[in-house]
Amino acid sequence: MTVPKEMPEKWARAGAPPSWSRKKPSWGTEEERRARANDREYNEKFQYASNCIKTSKYNILTFLPVNLFEQFQEVANTYFLFLLILQLIPQISSLSWFTTIVPLVLVLTITAVKDATDDYFRHKSDNQVNNRQSQVLINGILQQEQWMNVCVGDIIKLENNQFVAADLLLLSSSEPHGLCYIETAELDGETNMKVRQAIPVTSELGDISKLAKFDGEVICEPPNNKLDKFSGTLYWKENKFPLSNQNMLLRGCVLRNTEWCFGLVIFAGPDTKLMQNSGRTKFKRTSIDRLMNTLVLWIFGFLVCMGVILAIGNAIWEHEVGTRFQVYLPWDEAVDSAFFSGFLSFWSYIIILNTVVPISLYVSVEVIRLGHSYFINWDKKMFCMKKRTPAEARTTTLNEELGQVEYIFSDKTGTLTQNIMVFNKCSINGHSYGDVFDVLGHKAELGERPEPVDFSFNPLADKKFLFWDPSLLEAVKMGDPHTHEFFRLLSLCHTVMSEEKNEGELYYKAQSPDEGALVTAARNFGFVFRSRTPKTITVHEMGTAITYQLLAILDFNNIRKRMSVIVRNPEGKIRLYCKGADTILLDRLHHSTQELLNTTTDHLNEYAGEGLRTLVLAYKDLDEEYYEEWAERRLQASLAQDSREDRLASIYEEVESNMMLLGATAIEDKLQQGVPETIALLTLANIKIWVLTGDKQETAVNIGYSCKMLTDDMTEVFIVTGHTVLEVREELRKAREKMMDSSRTVGNGFTYQEKLSSSKLTSVMEAVAGEYALVINGHSLAHALEADMELEFLETACACKAVICCRVTPLQKAQVVELVKKYKKAVTLAIGDGANDVSMIKTAHIGVGISGQEGIQAVLASDYSFSQFKFLQRLLLVHGRWSYLRMCKFLCYFFYKNFAFTMVHFWFGFFCGFSAQTVYDQYFITLYNIVYTSLPVLAMGVFDQDVPEQRSMEYPKLYEPGQLNLLFNKREFFICIAQGIYTSVLMFFIPYGVFAEATRDDGTQLADYQSFAVTVATSLVIVVSVQIGLDTGYWTAINHFFIWGSLAVYFAILFAMHSNGLFDMFPNQFRFVGNAQNTLAQPTVWLTIVLTTVVCIMPVVAFRFLRLHLKPDLSDTVRYTQLVRKKQKAQHRCMRRVGRTGSRRSGYAFSHQEGFGELIMSGKNMRLSSLALSSFTTRSSSSWIESLRRKKSDSASSPSGAADKPLKG
């Protein structure tokens, strides 16, 4: 990924808890902030935080002790260190110390190197940010200072396109009236420009000499995480000046379209609002890791119990029997009683039996996770060709948890959408434009369309604008008055600013992307908005420049949901132009437009059915006398001291009535490719998706409809907008009552009681009938997240199919995620692309960063990253599901084979006087987990799959076992243990029984210790090899090579250790020359091995055969379906586009700020730099995958249903 020169800060790297170079004020918690300009000595006494950031964990001196301390917090590492210490005591150790120390040191070293590498990059990132240069006013001179040396009270100069170094009070700028423009994508995800303005008293301080003499003092609120609020006062020249958020530039913002500005540092480093919202990095561990820690403790307890039993047996045996053999088997010098002998025997057996949990288990787990991570990195289907960006697994510890996700929390802007608005269709005077038809009158699809409309007649046209219906351009060229008035309205009724750098090169600065799309459409069709002054608007209409007098702007707000302009044309005629939400505007039309209204309503329904954002246009002629009288009343209302907004709203309401309908526009908010399909698949996989966005409610709701999270088929969409605790509680209560009433009406009997009983949040709300959605605003969410209401909110939200939280702060995003984690005990995934998503990404079990348009902070804080939201389905349904499946199968088999291996020692203890003698020689014990059985299980853990990737996507219900944690849990663990113990019993007693009476070919007794050990060891290796063959569901050449190769290596090493060559070199170590050859030459031994293998394996084969035929699961059915499909010719099905009909939603001003119209009329923002609008390209609406809905029945709870459709097809 290419990193721009001004790269967003990297303080949020994954895995690094932020620790700041901060000194607390001496009095404790800060209650207010005092900052005096140009007076470092005064400000230093408060000991405010410096602007230096630190995300690294170690330095050269602390790395070794701190890292080892962290590693030995792992139960397993401490356990193996304890065993190593025991093995160093010769009185109790019957195994060499190297069997434990070598793998332990290997694991610690690998982990330490990985941690050191990660921390090196964190140091590098910190240095890059801290060493950025900033111009600081020191002693009357602008000096270059590193960011980390900037202090509270310093005055900083920023230049265009620079990042803001700290939270600043804007003092002055190059723009008139102290205005400046910033981009806040790193803070709230919004890419449109924001306006900030210095207070008038400081806006003239543009000269360095004046700034050097500035000694004002700011007293304001203490550091907090509220991005949209700031309260403070500037004391200067014995006067007080109120300060608000409109006067602040926050760290993380970028200065745009402003040559320079000066600011006073109020908050630095960790005190900045961005840092306050970043949250702490949490150490993430999977549910399997947590279960493993519990199981290791259980196994250790089981190990202690076995040690106690065998120690008691040793004490009794030594007391009753051993005393008779003191001449032959004397006690060690330190042993003076049978009890003490039993005590030493206890520790000896702890060492011998410790292989129930060998350290190779943890090494193997890390190797498998590393392999899964590489598969994600290498997946070409998750590689974005456009951006040349591959998917990246930034951690190796969470792969299997990708297969257990139940809740996804997604950002909107840049994650679900491209934040690109396209003028798609329109209705003018009852005629719909935008669709293209073929010669038969059928609507043409995108691939069948002819060339786009040619705008070459217009030298000022935007070459990036595309439109496909030539009839609209023909109507314009023919001079149709309604069409001309339509585009005239679009060119006049807006707050866009224009700049012309070169002749004919227009750049529009739109406050919201949808406004830019509408003005650009008018521009291409011949009505070019050219320039404006505070009192005029100049438009080139079909090549002719016409200047309109701008009389008034009736600004947009969330209540009015419309904006109007009143203009006087060159002929002196006064006209009001209005555009706004159809639900608002249609009620304000003149009754004479009823017939046109009906036709336009049909068009609006059609557009809304395609997920387009609609807008209605109307106009009204005003006579001079009425306007003069109305303007006077408007002036009086604007000067009112009380209820100013209500008075103005009433004045606006009066003039915006009895308007004449012109038509409607339809804008496509371009979703990222594949978003609706991805959400559909994930929903079918029983994954709940919540959208948490800093954007406005209208924007979020429209995107919810576009990506099919919200549909008109839903029973109801609840909107919570209360401003007080009581209002929010009442709205949530009413929502729950409606859902409960609906359930009682339907009478579904609440069929999910089993699921409810397993959840901590036991509520019948989980079982409501119908589909509901919840939309809640940020100010309401703040109340809903309070301790006494969070459960009510969670109950209501979890009963809904879709949840959308609007206008939320980064910290609120994290709080919502934490709430679900706390009460639902479900695996959560957060996905976003901006700095405002970092806190949410850190809080969730799994964080996914999208390398999009809003910097790379989200990627740096994430566990996984890729470039498009659609790759999420493959990450979860393929890689996540496979990782979970493989890890579960690996763990089950690993515990089985090690209990089968270790428990033989337990049974042997009863026949060797409990002397802690091992059945196998120590080389077999050392090599069993490292060589003989390690590679086959690794191959299964890395490569195995139950169904191909295509079927994983086709049957999303296959994902549910991971959510329910069915494949590896305490029950499955005990089943594996039981199978291992059963195998160990047969492994010991069948050879023991045979050897009791068996003879060699020459008639001598077959039974001896070494022959018995070889027979048991050979039986064990063969049995576990056959078992892994049964467990392997996907055979590759590597699986074959590892399984049969491991068997071959076993026999090669076995014969080598009993050969003359090794005896000649190491006579004290390899004494039993020829034992293996002699033992395995006996037919009786091979019959014993075959009998043991058959008796151990046959119950497993029989059980699996019966389960497959009597109670197959969905994956079994899908595999059978796959076999059937291989015999059939593949059929390609075309997917039909299914539109949504019904509710219409305005697409206007979703990111629009109230008050911008007043700013335009004041003339304060007339000096503007350029803003190149995003390129507008059209594409056909994402076809809705109706076939996925059909497959919902295929992947229902009854596995047989999944096969019906494929079998027929």
Packing angle, helices 360-378 and 934-943, rounded to 10: 30
What would the DSSP string read from start to end of 816-846?
A: HHHHHHHHH--EEEEEESSGGGHHHHHHSSE
556 closest CA partner among 584, 517, 534: 584
Find out whether 10 and 857 touch, Cβ atoms under 8 Å. yes
Q: How far is CA 1022 from CA 200, 353, 1037, in A?
A: 87, 21, 19
For the chain, how big is the Rg over CA atoms in Å? 37
Listed in sequence order, the residues at least 6 apart from 434 whose beta carbon sits closer than 8 Å to its beta carbon are 424, 425, 426, 467, 468, 469, 472, 666
Report how far residue 1012's alpha carbon sits from residue 992's, in angstroms, rounded to the nearest whole number.
Answer: 8
User: Looking at the chain, how many residues does it have?
Assistant: 1209
Q: What is the three-class DSSP state of 1183?
A: coil
Indicate the pairing of strand 574-580 with strand 562-568. Answer: antiparallel
C-alpha 227/C-alpha 811 separation (Å) is: 10
As given in the structure block, the two tokens for residue 704 are: 């919810």
Q: Say which DSSP state 53 is in.
A: -
Reading the block at residue 569, the tokens are: 């044309």
Among residues 1052, 885, 895, the alpha carbon closest in space to that of 952 is found at: 885
Contact 187, 250 (CB under 8 A): yes
Q: What gap in Å lies between CA 586 and CA 597, rounded to an integer?
A: 8
List the structure tokens of 1111.
């109670």
Beta-bridge partner residues of 539: 529, 546
Q: What is the DSSP letter of 9?
A: P
Quote the tokens at residue 995: 């050897």
Tokens of 254: 């970028």
Contact 1197, 961 (CB under 8 A): no
Long-range (24+ apart) CB contacts under 8 A made by 370-375 are 370/396, 371/941, 371/942, 372/396, 372/399, 372/400, 372/879, 372/882, 372/883, 372/886, 372/942, 373/399, 375/879
- Please, which residues bridge with residue 159 across strands? 260
Give the separation between CA 904 and CA 989, rounded to whole angstroms. 9
> Does residue 1001 have an active-site annotation?
no
Mark 924-951 as b/e (b = at least 16 C-beta within 10 Å). Answer: bbbbbbeebbbbbbbbbbbbbbbbebeb
**Nearest alpha-carbon partner for 1173 in 524, 243, 431:** 524
CA distance 1038 to 253: 52
Catalytic site residue from 167, 379, 411, 863: 411
Phi and psi at residue 795, in whole multiples of 5°?
-60, -50
Report the distance separating Cα 770 and Cα 768, nearest Å: 7
SS (HEC) of 689-708: EEEECCCCHHHHHHHHHHCC
| Distance from C-alpha of 95 to C-alpha of 110, rounded to nearest angstrom | 25
CB 418 within 8 A of CB 670: yes
Place of tokens 């590393």: 370
Q: Which amino acid is at 1135?
A: M
Here the tokens at position 1124 are 């059937």
Q: Using the structure block, give the residue that is written with the tokens 């293996």.
A: 1076
DSSP letter for each residue of 1090-1150: HHHHHHHHHHHHHHHHHHHHHS--HHHHHHHHHHHHHTS-----PPPP----S---B-S-T
Which residues are marked as active site? Answer: 411
